[in-house]
Structure 1
Amino acid sequence: MSIELLTLLFFGTLLLFLVLGLPLSFVLGGVSVVFLYFTWGPESFYMVAAQTWDAMNKFILVAIPLFIFMAMLLERSGAAADLYEMMYVWFGPLRGGLAIGTVAICAIFSAMCGISGAAVVSMGTIALPSMLQRNYDKLMAVGCINSGGGWGILIPPSVIMILYALIAGESVGKLFAAGILPGFMLFVLVSLYIGIRCYFQPHMGPPIPKEERGDWGRKFRSVRAVLLPMLIVFMVLGSIVFGIATPTEAAGIGVLGAIISGLFYRQLNLPLLKEASLRTFRLTGMIMWILFGAYCFTAAYHGMGAAHLIEDLMQYVPGGPWGTIIFIQIIIFFLAMVLDPAGIMMICIPIFLPVVTAYGFDPIWFGILFIVNMEIGYMTPPFGFNLFYMKGVVPPSISMMDIYRSVIPFTIVELVGLILLMIFPQIVLFLPNLFFN
């Protein structure tokens, strides 16, 4: 049977079972095992076991449950409420100031957590009622939280970056450094959009009343709220960048910082630890099973000789190397609308990365483009995770259609940011080259 027909059958079967609603990990692993059996016979099952064992022996995987546990603790620590108080008194007097402050908190939370969703739930609970009470347009209020909440996988530390590094064989530290400037750039672009739109359309984000604005004493007292989050960020990222700890060890340091945060805000107790542990087990188990299935998928597809097929097909994409990069971004963008980001990464990286490196592009730069696409996917209809997190915390007056509509302008702004990263690769590569060369 030709590789072209095998590819159609392979991906057709994969998509069929995904559409039927079966779990991604079992679809990836099950379809791969079946095709391996009919391609190489029963001996191929040894390869499945070897691939799974190889995945289990990668020390970097220990960082995943640690970062998730850190995020679960920080989400309930009380830091978000203090951060919002600081943003309220400093940014509130400006048009759109509460929305800009909210995305700033999302960026800070992203730098502490490593996963998407924590900032959405926290800000949806704390910031959204405050903005709606002060007559912010509901689409502006919901959209800014959805947009900023997705940065958890882009601004390091990031669980998705660890997965990319594992599959691509790249340095986690370099990826963490590469995500800092793109994350800051997206924060600036989104803040500019909010500020400019609210300046010309004041009803979208009116300033808070004068009687609610804090004096300088309240403002300076509120600054203390950022000291502990910044300490956690420095403990995690600083230990990696300055060579004090590996990413896995830095994740352990981050958990220590999250525990200190819980003690500081007097939220650390046995029920919180139990809930955080159970949620960590669930998320880690899901990621691990997807990873095992993806290893089987990679072994099966490459065993069929598909790498040469993909490289040959990419030669027919118009525009040469850059046309190929744009074509890949479009495919990933549409996949991110309907599939889990971790699953997309497991399926696409083994296929696209050899093509990208063959054209001479930097795999770290491509990884950040990939992750930005995944981040946009978190807030893009119809199945973006952040959309459903948001639906769980918004008041009944905000419908699912309102949430869908709210993300449209923010998606356009972030796509502009993605284009800038493609045009100016040094935005991504400057810090990795500075710290690691």
Structure 2
Amino acid sequence: MLEKKSVVIAGGGSTYTAGIVMMLINNQDKFPLKSLKFYDNDFERQKVVADACEIIIKERAPEIEFVATTDPAIAFSDVDFVMAHIRQGGLKMREMDEKIPMKYDVVGQETCGPGGIAYGMRSITGVIELIDYMEEYSPNAWMLNYSNPASIVAEATRVLRPNAKIINICDMPVAIKQGMADIVGLKSGNDIVDRYYGLNHYGWWTEVLDKDGNDLMPQLKEHVKKFGYGPDTSKDDNDNPLLMEQSWVDTFAKVKDIYAVDPDTLPNTYLKYYLYPDYVVKHTDPTHTRANEVMENREKNVFSECRNITKKGTAQDTTLEAGEHAEFIVQLAGALAYNTHERMLLIVENNGAIANVDDDAMVEVPCIVSKRGYEPLAMGKIPTFQKGMIEQQVSVEKLVVQAYIEKSYQKLWKALTLSATVPSAEVAKLVLDDLQEANKDYWPELS
């Protein structure tokens, strides 16, 4: 029988939290829980989600002890895992991250370009605080961090807390692999064995096999060349939950143009922001960005359903469900806890995994996960095109972390200037000055 574990979800008020709870409940045979805690510094927001999740747990897994708190001593004591997905500044600051660059015809996106840099400068403080809580109250615990922007956060933790037991992860490759599985007729992205290299939101697949070793790349490339990762538009059965919002429809379709740049690989969707920034700006409404879509759709729907559960006093027939985001984090926790040797894409210090990229770059590569932690797999040398792009973006991320630590305006200006999404140093400075003013309550005071 598997030993029961205790988990705290840091970011208890997130729209993703209920999905993680549902996935945890559904996988009690693989990852049994003794206790589950929520932690958030926003009491009212967390309460909406926590009240509903308490009902869900009582109905479906009453043996799990449940606590929701804003007290870090209560939240982080006696836990085995911290599942962190915090958003410093909330969706209102995300909206600023996206809309301020758009004023200057620059990509406005949550994790890419100036918006991602602004978000990173906020996130570092919050994630480091969570690590310190974990190390004070549960020093043997692992932190599984989903907090964005993952590459900047990973670089910050590498520099500021080099010995911390933290693994930085992202569910975008998981979602893309599920899309690949749909294209080739497999049931799940878990049925795919892949080779992939890059940075978070910035990578390429070089091999996609099924578990019998059959090469799926030719079929996938033929599809992507015509439709990107979107559905075959010549067919009628195009119900794909990943593509419900128009921005995601466009993103998955645009992959065919990203793929055209390097037909030897299959790309991460987020590369559109770096390879086609002019297209993204042209096709983005500067008054209604992705943050507004999230507020109007996912946030509205999740919070409405949570309030509905609380009002009715039951979660029977609830529309809340677990998704790829939750499945990945539960698989990772299970591998660390029970030595299952899962093969998973993680964001880790390079140390030779990509042979011709600096060892101290935080790269995203397949790893074997067990009780020992994670062991990156060697991806070998990569082509000049990808190497150049990666080195440029790694330099951006390092400059952001240096700017945070040194409180350096100059280094943050350099980071924005170096980003492939920004056309010039002049534009970078205009964007930076506006972002600095908007983030005066969150960033270190720069000089």
TM-score by shorter chain over 0.5: no
More strand by share: 2
Query: Structure 1-normalised TM-score?
Result: 0.27
TM-score in terms of structure 2 length:
0.26
Name the one with the larger helix percent.
Answer: 1
Of structures 1 and 2, the one with the larger relative CO (CA 8 A, separation 6+) is 1
Which has more radius of gyration?
1
